[in-house]
């Protein structure tokens, strides 16, 4: 009989703990819901009041970016290489091998459409073309589409293995 009373008392205490835990968790969630609703109303009110200054901030940021870019060296002249450039053709044994051109000014150009007769290591060429905005597996130089090319000084002829 004493054992049964002890078991009943333990069960009642466990049941009481369980009921109190559920009650507290239910109270906490209703408080959180009302807090979230209050926060949402406050945010909405703030958004309506600050809509105009945010637009001014966006305009100011755009003006700052333009001011920064104005002094930046990346200009249309660098992108548009429609004037003749002189450089040396080089075979680079990277990523399976490819031909690149290093201009007299030191710029690395990755020709995307160079004819095979100009693929001569050490050749001096003059080229015209446009910068091509692509990513390449070579990850070397500026991708470039050649529109005109002239051979000034021949170099070493390409091996069939290199092509």
83 in the same domain as 62: no
Residue-wise pLDDT tens digits, 100-117: 999 999 999 999 999 999
> Are residues 99 and 43 both part of a single domain?
no
Residue 37 to residue 43: CA distance in whole angstroms? 10
Helical residues (DSSP H) of 71-123, grouped into ranges: 76-79
pTM given for the model: 0.49
Mean pLDDT is highest, among 12-16, 81-85, 134-138, for 134-138
Q: How many CA atoms lie within 13 A of 139 on its CB side?
A: 3
Number of structural domains found in the chain: 2
Residue range 4-50, pLDDT digits in tens: 777 777 777 766 776 676 666 666 554 455 555 555 555 554 454 44
Whether 161 maps to a domain, the answer reads no
- In a shared domain, residues 3 and 68: yes
**What percent of the chain is modeled with pLDDT above 90?**
34
Domain finish residue from 72, 87, 122: 72
Q: Which two tokens stand for residue 8?
A: 């009943």
For residue 157, how far is the Cα from the chain centroid? 39
**The predicted structure's pLDDT at residue 26:** 66
Residue 102 lies in a domain: yes
Model confidence band, residue 77 (pLDDT cutoffs 50, 70, 90): very low
Q: Based on the fold, state whether residues 65 and 86 are members of the same structural domain.
A: no
Residue 3 clears pLDDT 70, i.e. is over it: yes
Residue bearing the bigger pLDDT, 137 or 41: 137
Residue ranges making up the domain that contains 64: 1-72
User: By the 8 A CB rule, do 141 and 108 touch?
Assistant: yes
Hey, what are 26's tokens? 């239910």
Is 101 domain-assigned? Answer: yes
């Amino acid at each position: 009989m004493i054992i049964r009373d002890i078991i009943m008392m333990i069960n009642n205490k466990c049941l009481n703990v369980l009921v109190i835990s559920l009650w507290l968790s239910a109270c906490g969630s209703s408080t959180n819901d009302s807090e979230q609703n209050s926060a949402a109303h406050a945010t909405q009110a703030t958004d309506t009041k600050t809509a105009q200054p945010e637009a001014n901030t966006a305009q100011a940021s755009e003006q700052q970016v333009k001011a920064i870019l104005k002094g930046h060296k990346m200009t249309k002249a660098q992108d548009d290489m429609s004037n003749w450039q002189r450089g040396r053709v080089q075979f680079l044994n990277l990523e399976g091998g490819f031909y690149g051109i290093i201009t007299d000014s030191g710029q690395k150009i990755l020709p995307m459409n160079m004819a095979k007769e100009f693929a001569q290591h050490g050749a001096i060429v003059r080229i015209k073309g446009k910068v091509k905005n692509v990513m390449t597996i070579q990850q070397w130089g500026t991708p470039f589409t050649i529109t005109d090319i002239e051979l000034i000084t021949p170099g070493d002829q390409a091996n069939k293995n290199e092509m």
